[in-house]
Structure 1
Amino acid sequence: MTRKEAVRRIEQAADEKLKELDLAGLNLNELPLEIVKCTNLTELDLRDNQITSIPEAIGQLSGLRGLDLSRNQITSIPEAIGQLSSLIALLLCENQITSIPEAIGQLSNLRGLEFGQNQITSIPEAIGQLFNLEYLLFYENQITSIPEVIGQLSNLKYLILCENQITSIPKVIGQLSNLEYLLLYENQITSIPEVIGQLSNLKCLNLRENQITSIPEVIGQLSNLESLNLSENQITSIPEVIGQLSNLKGLFLPNNQITEIPEVIRNMKYLEKLDLRGNPVPISPQVLGQGQDDESCGDLRTILDSYFHTRNLALPELDAERQKIESEGYFDAETLQDARQRITASIVQRQGQAGFRRKLLIAYGGRCPITDCDVESAIEAAHIIPYQGTQTNHPTNGLPLRADIHTLFDLHLVSIRPDTNEVVIAPALVGTCYQDLADRKLTLPQDQKTAPNQNALSKHYEAFLSKCKSGQLKRL
């Protein structure tokens, strides 16, 4: 079907005074000028063609309320677009547009504007004149900043600027009191501004794949928030104020640097999904979920039960170690805010020694020899004999363990039987997810020169046995 079919439909629409005209998918290279005959048109669909330009004559269709030019090859927009004063929706996604004329600001009735998947580098100032705008979509372009005039769009509900090159969120964003969906994922944003807390109607905030390092306290003011996605950033902790998000259903934080789950999350009655995959939190990947999509994250209650069960086992041991470190002068507890942070710091102390970790990863092929986990960001360098200076940073005195296994290993809740290289667990872990590795043997490195020192394993195993009552020891 070609231009001939398009002209036939146009003539029919003109004769019958039709309000809607569908010219989608006709492989048109241009919009036939006969279109000006359709003076009664309110809806014009030109999707999925090969149109390269919009004729100035488009301005004569003054009654148009909806114009869809998505998925064409349009490179520019004529000034005549500003004459479509009745237009409510203008869709121009998936074209080759590089700029938008100032005439766009004349579309005072516009409610929806979509320019996704083009080559636009900036949002024009004229956008600020579209006071009735509710939907603004500029995803997958080359935009580097959000203009200040965006704050004038008081009726805006959807702001979708994902997959651009935006580096910051302006303060004027806080003026968008009716905003419900803010999607800014896959940009280069480094922080969440305090004004975000003013968006009282926000339901969805998606900032995944940016460079954000922390979640601000004001996030707790978003009482209507249902979905918060901050995956693949550089976040190290979940603030307690997250518990104030009384309507939150999904909290997505995979592939960050989070080590703890705050207690308040257990009391969030509407929370359905908690995604912490790819974080060094002490929970097995099987529990966290091992797929790639959102639906593959683990069961919420299982995640929380696993974490708090393990943490409650670990707290007394870690607190004792903290007191020891403080008394020996290695550590200034006054620089930390509370007991939980001190506990975290005592664990973090053993995550260093980059060279030691690198040697272990090389020796074991980048895998945890207990779990076979090959996600390097989740693998830590564990000392068999506790760190006592650089002399203990030798590959034969170490194992590259997944973060949760490392914590249990340091607490002597998990050990290695030196005569068989089998993993053993303390009675407290029986019945937990860690029992799933039953009878598994330690995977040894190919180079025997880097294999675990048997004397070191024996000492760790003896310390383990001293904490287990006779007859209660179980194999993992």
Structure 2
Amino acid sequence: MTREEAVRRIEWAAEKKLKELDLSKLGLEELPLEIVKCTLLTRLVLCDNKITSIPDVLGQLSNLERLNLNNNKITSIPEAFGQLSNLICLELNDNEITSIPEALGQLSRLMWLHLTNNQLTCIPEGIGELWNLRVIDLSNNQIAGIPEAIGQLFNLKVIDLSNNLIACIPEVIGQLWNLQELFLPNNQIAEIPEALGQLSSLKTLYLRGNQITSIPEALGQLSNLDKLHLGENQITSIPEALGQLSNLKELYLTDNQIREIPGVIGQLSSLRVLYLNSNQITTIPKTLGQLSNLKLLNLGKNQIAEIPETLGQLSSLRTLYLGGNQITTIPKMLGQLSNLAKLLLPNNQIAEIPEAIRSMKNLEKLDLQNNPVLIFPQVLGHGQDDGGCGDLRTILDSCFHTCNPGLPELDAERQKIESEEYFDAETLQDARRRTTASIVQRQGQAEFRRKLLTAYGGRCPITDCDVESAIEAAHIIPYQGTQTNHPTNGLPLRADIHTLFDLHLLSIRPDTNEVVIAPELVGTCYQYLADRKLTLPQDQKTAPNQNALSKHYETFLSKCKSGQLQRL
């Protein structure tokens, strides 16, 4: 029936001389040869089928400008593709393609080439013939190197080679003076070439998750750079030249071996987000107080003993995270941070809270877990109406993660929970929305929650929070009776993360187990969660069901695309 439907549409398109034809989601295992009748087609959509091979006759559609073959089972690209002389956009994401034919170099008008999530091992030299190429996305493959020919693609604006096996960035990449975005995270790159400093148009540089040990001074020449991501490497120092990046808005240096922050960091006048957590930093330079546009500062998990008074000058700061250090006092000057919403100082040695915090009119969360604070001062006030910094109970709950006392009716409901059954994500076609679930469903049935906490060692696998009273049992596929209360359909999430997960403001990439966040969370205190790896349980039998994660992730992507996500 699916082939018949495809042929019917093809005949109709040929008869009506249509220029666009959509044959997606028809379950096609092959493309009907009748397609050759549609000689006027400029756009052909064949995504989300089961096509394993592409017939050579497709090369006869000489007017074709856009071809979408995403999410099929294609293993190779025919040489006949080289005949599509008018092709502008070629999409072959999520297939099983192992190589790119040299004939693709004949597509002189091609501007967009997408081959993410395939099995490519190399990029042919013929790629250098694609003079008009603007975007090349070959992420999530097994590519081991970048050919020298890429230096000929002077019109390139975006290169995405994320999640490959690339060990070296060729010097010729410095010739791409129109390049604006370069994505090379999660490869095996050990060195950043000086030539990268020649990319005068570059705005975004992602090199997270490599083996880089140093940042070249030449990066200071990237005058238009606004995002620099170098987390999860082996970098030991920040060069003085980075202080020249006057347009830089985001700087990520999480999880490196940096011991010192240079004073020139204070010259980054446009900086809004700074991540330097999980390093070996011992002091914060006073010049950090010059970053008047900074909204988020994360210096957690270092060896910092003192907060400089100058941090009180960060007038735009909304989130300050300094957890996991050796801090003993909170300076009074921090009370000047009138826009601060979240002050997070867990796992330090702080013994008292200064009266100056009373001045923080917008403070929503104060986290002082695992500090020797003996008593919470009354100077905080009981609400903004009488000069305090928000509702005292809210701040206390945030600080010590107190939970509501159990209600008899909830206890009664918990006792009704049945024993677990086999969980199969594919059988759940009518899952109800979690956001309309009852309080019992929201907190997670007792047995379901107990099993999740046991499997994950009593920790949230996203935030590593180990306060069990703050952790809820989240369903990956929404609650639909006790069959969904299987550990493989659950995650023990901190309460706020649970809410974001249910609203699809946050999800997990099923192929990499990395956290992804919606655009609404970029620039907020949750931005640090992006790209975090989900901590999996030791017993693989309780690991998240991949089908369930895929369904949640697909909904997340759909809502991101359609702009349906809710703001908190």
Q: Deviations over 1:39-96 (max 9, x none)?
A: 1100000011000000000011000000011110000111110000000011111100
Is 1:439 aligned to residue 351 of structure 2? no
For structure 1, the residue ranges without an aligned partner over 5 or more in a row are: 285-297, 314-372, 374-401, 409-421, 442-476
Instruction: Tell me the residue number matched to 2:405.
Output: none
Q: Is the alpha carbon distance of 1:231 and 1:424 closer, same or farther for their aligned partners in structure 2, counting shifts above 3 Å?
A: closer
Q: Is the alpha carbon distance of 1:132 and 1:434 closer, same or farther for their aligned partners in structure 2, counting shifts above 3 Å?
A: closer
Q: Is the alpha carbon distance of 1:424 and 1:27 closer, same or farther for their aligned partners in structure 2, counting shifts above 3 Å?
A: closer
Instruction: Tell me the residue number matched to 2:156.
Output: 156
SS at match of 2:6: helix
Instruction: Tell me the residue number matched to 2:134.
Output: 134
Give, in whole Å, the separation in 1 of the partners of 2:47 and 2:24: 5
Q: Is the alpha carbon distance of 1:65 and 1:186 closer, same or farther for their aligned partners in structure 2, counting shifts above 3 Å?
A: same
Give, in whole Å, the separation in 1 of the partners of 2:100 and 2:350: 66
Query: How far did residue 406 of structure 1 move?
Result: 9.9
1:71-470 equivalences in 2 (<5 Å): 71-282=71-282, 299-300=295-296, 310=306, 403-405=325-327, 437-439=371-373
Instruction: Tell me the residue number matched to 1:453.
Output: none
Instruction: Tell me the residue number matched to 1:329.
Output: none
Q: Is the alpha carbon distance of 1:238 and 1:37 closer, same or farther for their aligned partners in structure 2, counting shifts above 3 Å?
A: same
Instruction: Tell me the residue number matched to 1:23.
Output: 23
Q: Is the alpha carbon distance of 1:177 and 1:267 closer, same or farther for their aligned partners in structure 2, counting shifts above 3 Å?
A: same
Give, in whole Å, the separation in 1 of the partners of 2:368 and 2:76: 63
Give, in whole Å, the separation in 2 of the partners of 1:141 and 1:60: 29
In the alignment, residue 189 of structure 1 is paired with which amino acid?
A: I
In the alignment, residue 276 of structure 2 is paired with which amino acid?
A: L
Give, in whole Å, the separation in 1 of the partners of 2:203 and 2:76: 34
Q: Deviations over 1:348-368 (max 9, x none)?
A: xxxxxxxxxxxxxxxxxxxxx
Query: How far did residue 311 of structure 1 move?
Result: 6.5
Alpha-carbon contact 1:134-1:155 (below 8 Å) kept: yes
Give, in whole Å, the separation in 2 of the partners of 1:424 and 1:229: 32
Alpha-carbon contact 1:21-1:44 (below 8 Å) kept: yes
Instruction: Tell me the residue number matched to 1:55.
Output: 55
The root-mean-square deviation of aligned C-alpha atoms, in Å, is 3.4
Give, in whole Å, the separation in 2 of the partners of 1:31 and 1:17: 19
SS at match of 2:159: strand
Give, in whole Å, the separation in 1 of the partners of 2:259 and 2:150: 37
In the alignment, residue 105 of structure 1 is paired with which amino acid?
A: G
Larger radius of gyration: 1
In the alignment, residue 242 of structure 1 is paired with which amino acid?
A: L
Give, in whole Å, the separation in 2 of the partners of 1:54 and 1:170: 33
Q: Is the alpha carbon distance of 1:303 and 1:277 closer, same or farther for their aligned partners in structure 2, counting shifts above 3 Å?
A: closer
Instruction: Tell me the residue number matched to 1:319.
Output: none
Give, in whole Å, the separation in 2 of the partners of 1:120 and 1:79: 16
Give, in whole Å, the separation in 2 of the partners of 1:424 and 1:9: 70
Query: How far did residue 281 of structure 1 move?
Result: 2.7
SS at match of 1:11: helix
Q: Is the alpha carbon distance of 1:403 and 1:423 closer, same or farther for their aligned partners in structure 2, counting shifts above 3 Å?
A: closer
In the alignment, residue 102 of structure 2 is paired with which amino acid?
A: E
In the alignment, residue 26 of structure 1 is paired with which amino acid?
A: L
Q: Deviations over 1:321-342 (max 9, x none)?
A: xxxxxxxxxxxxxxxxxxxxxx
Give, in whole Å, the separation in 2 of the partners of 1:18 and 1:92: 23
Give, in whole Å, the separation in 2 of the partners of 1:262 and 1:54: 56
Give, in whole Å, the separation in 1 of the partners of 2:351 and 2:373: 11
Give, in whole Å, the separation in 2 of the partners of 1:5 and 1:299: 54
In the alignment, residue 373 of structure 2 is paired with which amino acid?
A: D
Alpha-carbon contact 2:329-2:352 (below 8 Å) kept: no
Alpha-carbon contact 1:282-1:405 (below 8 Å) kept: no
Alpha-carbon contact 1:160-1:182 (below 8 Å) kept: yes
Query: How far did residue 120 of structure 1 move?
Result: 0.8
Give, in whole Å, the separation in 2 of the partners of 1:435 and 1:18: 65
In the alignment, residue 143 of structure 1 is paired with which amino acid?
A: I
In the alignment, residue 21 of structure 2 is paired with which amino acid?
A: L
In the alignment, residue 188 of structure 2 is paired with which amino acid?
A: Q
TM-score by length of structure 1 reads 0.63
Alpha-carbon contact 2:113-2:135 (below 8 Å) kept: yes
Alpha-carbon contact 1:136-1:160 (below 8 Å) kept: yes
In the alignment, residue 310 of structure 1 is paired with which amino acid?
A: E
TM-score by length of structure 2 reads 0.54
In the alignment, residue 208 of structure 1 is paired with which amino acid?
A: R
Give, in whole Å, the separation in 2 of the partners of 1:256 and 1:309: 19
Query: How far did residue 277 of structure 1 move?
Result: 2.2
Aligned residues with identical type, % of pairs:
56
Is 1:43 aligned to residue 64 of structure 2? no
In the alignment, residue 8 of structure 1 is paired with which amino acid?
A: R
Alpha-carbon contact 1:280-1:403 (below 8 Å) kept: no
Q: Is the alpha carbon distance of 1:73 and 1:103 closer, same or farther for their aligned partners in structure 2, counting shifts above 3 Å?
A: same
Query: How far did residue 309 of structure 1 move?
Result: 9.7
Alpha-carbon contact 1:78-1:101 (below 8 Å) kept: yes
SS at match of 1:310: coil
Alpha-carbon contact 2:282-2:304 (below 8 Å) kept: no
SS at match of 2:306: helix
